[in-house]
C-alpha cells in the first residue's frame, strides 16, 4: 500500500522510510513507531518484495525496513533489486531470532544491506520498548547520510596524502602487545569480516571482540569470522582459558571481560546491567583489557552508532596501550570510533583496509 503525504522539498522530514513486511500486524506496529517521531515520514508500506522493488524505483526512500520471509519475493531476493533502483537507499533487514534468519541477515549485509534489526514476535509487540528505541536510533544514525551518499566503501585504500585530522593523536607507550580487543556495532559484521581476513600471521595473541548483536546472531557471526580469518573462532565461554591466535566473540546478551588467574587468561561472562543500552557492551571488555594488560593492550573500534567503547578506550589509552579507530569515510556510522577519535585518545585513525597492515607493524615492531 502506498501512503502519500504531499510535501515540498523544503517541508520534507529528515528521513523518508518504506516498510516491507508480509504481516499487516507487524507493518502497522512498525509504522506506529515511526510516526511517533516527527523527523520520519513513512512513504509506503508493502506486503512483499516485488511490490517493494516497484515502489522503491518510483518513490526513492532514504531507508527501507525489509522483512526476510515473504511471499511472491523474499527480502534477500528483493535487496539487490532495490539497491539497483537507488544505490543510495539504506536497507535495514528485519529478522526473527532464528539461526536460519541470522545466516540470511549476515548474507544480506554482505550483499549491501546496511544493518539489521531483530523484530519481536507477534506475542511480544506490546512489550517492545527496546525494539522501538533500537529502530528509531538506527534510523536517526543512518538517516543523517541517507539519500546523500551510497554505502561507504569499507575497502577504501589509505590516501597517499593523508588529510590532517581535526583531532589530536597520542603516542602510545605500547610494549610487547599481548592482546587485540575489537569493538563494533552498526556496520560491524562486514567490517569485522574484512578486518580479520586481512590480519597478519604475526598477530598471535588472543583476539577478543564485542559486537552489538543478539544471541543466535553472535553464534553465526563467530562461525563466519572463523571462515574469513582461517583462525579458530567461537563465542567466549565463562571461565574459558584464552589461547593465542584464537578469536573470541562476546555472546549475545552477555558482557564479556577478561581476567588473569595465575598464569592463565580467562573469559568472564556476566549479565550485569547493560551499558549504553548494550549487552554485550564494548566498555567492560576494553576496561578489563586495560586492567589485565596495561601498555600491552591494543584496541580497535570499528563502525557503530553511539559512544560505547569510549570509556574503555580511555582506560587503554591512559594505561599506555594502542587505541585505533576506523575513519569516518569507511564507517557506516562514525559514532563509536568518532567519539574516541574526537576525545583525543587514538594513536591512529585509519580506513578499514589500512587497519590490519597497521596492526602488523605494531606487532612486528614490538619483537625487534
C-alpha cell belonging to residue 342: 574526537
Which of the residues 21, 67, 115, 308 is marked catalytic? 308
> Could you tell me the CA-to-CA distances from 278 to 18, 52, 253, 297, 309 in Å, in that order?
27, 32, 8, 23, 11
* Identified catalytic residue from 95, 184, 185, 281: 185
Nearest to 104 by CA among 186, 185, 217, 228: 217
CA 245 to chain centre: 23
What gap in Å lies between CA 41 and CA 64, rounded to an integer? 12
Instruction: With CA atoms as reference, report the closest residue to 82 among 108, 116, 107.
Output: 108
Grid coordinates representing 186? Answer: 552498526
Asked if residues 175 and 366 have their Cβ atoms less than 8 Å apart, the reply is yes
- Strands 90-95 and 115-118 turn out to be parallel
**Is 308 one of the catalytic residues?**
yes
Are the C-beta atoms of 64 and 25 separated by less than 8 Å?
A: no
Catalytic residue among 62, 74, 105, 212: 212
224 catalytic, yes or no? no
CB 83 within 8 A of CB 89: yes
Do 104 and 130 form a contact (C-beta atoms < 8 A)?
A: no
The residues annotated with a catalytic role in the active site are 185, 212, 308
Amino acid at each position: 500500500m502506498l501512503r502519500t503525504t504531499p510535501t515540498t522539498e523544503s517541508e520534507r522530514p529528515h528521513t523518508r522510510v518504506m516498510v516491507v513486511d508480509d504481516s499487516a500486524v507487524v507493518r502497522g506496529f512498525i509504522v506506529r513507531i515511526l510516526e511517533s517521531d516527527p523527523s520520519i515520514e513513512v512513504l509506503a508500506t508493502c506486503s512483499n518484495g516485488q511490490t517493494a522493488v516497484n515502489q522503491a524505483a518510483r518513490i526513492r526512500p532514504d531507508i527501507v525496513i525489509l522483512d526476510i520471509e515473504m511471499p511472491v519475493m523474499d527480502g534477500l531476493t528483493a535487496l539487490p533489486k532495490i539497491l539497483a533502483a537507488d544505490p543510495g537507499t539504506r536497507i535495514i533487514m528485519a529478522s526473527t531470532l532464528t539461526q536460519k534468519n541470522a545466516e540470511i541477515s549476515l548474507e544480506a549485509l554482505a550483499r549491501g544491506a546496511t544493518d539489521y534489526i531483530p523484530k519481536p514476535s507477534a506475542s511480544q509487540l506490546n512489550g517492545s520498548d527496546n525494539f522501538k528505541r533500537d529502530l528509531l536510533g538506527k534510523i536517526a544514525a543512518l538517516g543523517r547520510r541517507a539519500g546523500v551518499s551510497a554505502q561507504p566503501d569499507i575497502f577504501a585504500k589509505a590516501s597517499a596524502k593523508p588529510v590532517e585530522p581535526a583531532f589530536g593523536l597520542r603516542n602510545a607507550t605500547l610494549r610487547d602487545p599481548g592482546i587485540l580487543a575489537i569493538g563494533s556495532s552498526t556496520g560491524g559484521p562486514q567490517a569485522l569480516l574484512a578486518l580479520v581476513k586481512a590480519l597478519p600471521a604475526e598477530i598471535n595473541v588472543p583476539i577478543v571482540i564485542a559486537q552489538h548483536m543478539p544471541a543466535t546472531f553472535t553464534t553465526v557471526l563467530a562461525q563466519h569470522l572463523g571462515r574469513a580469518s582461517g583462525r579458530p573462532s567461537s563465542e567466549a565461554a565463562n571461565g574459558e582459558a584464552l589461547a593465542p591466535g584464537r578469536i573470541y566473540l562476546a555472546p549475545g546478551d552477555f558482557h564479556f571481560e577478561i581476567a588473569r588467574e595465575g598464569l592463565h587468561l580467562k573469559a568472564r561472562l556476566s549479565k550485569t546491567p547493560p551499558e549504553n543500552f548494550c549487552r554485550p557492551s564494548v566498555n567492560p571488555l576494553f576496561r578489563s583489557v586495560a586492567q589485565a594488560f596495561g601498555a600491552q593492550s591494543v584496541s580497535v573500534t570499528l563502525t557503530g552508532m553511539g559512544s560505547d567503547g569510549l570509556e574503555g578506550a580511555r582506560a587503554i589509552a591512559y594505561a599506555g596501550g594502542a587505541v585505533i579507530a576506523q575513519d569516518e569515510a569507511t564507517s557506516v556510522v562514525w559514532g563509536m570510533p568518532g567519539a574516541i577519535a574526537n576525545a583525543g585518545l587514538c594513536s591512529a585513525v585509519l580506513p578499514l583496509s589500512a587497519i590490519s597492515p597497521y596492526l602488523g607493524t605494531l606487532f612486528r615492531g614490538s619483537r625487534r
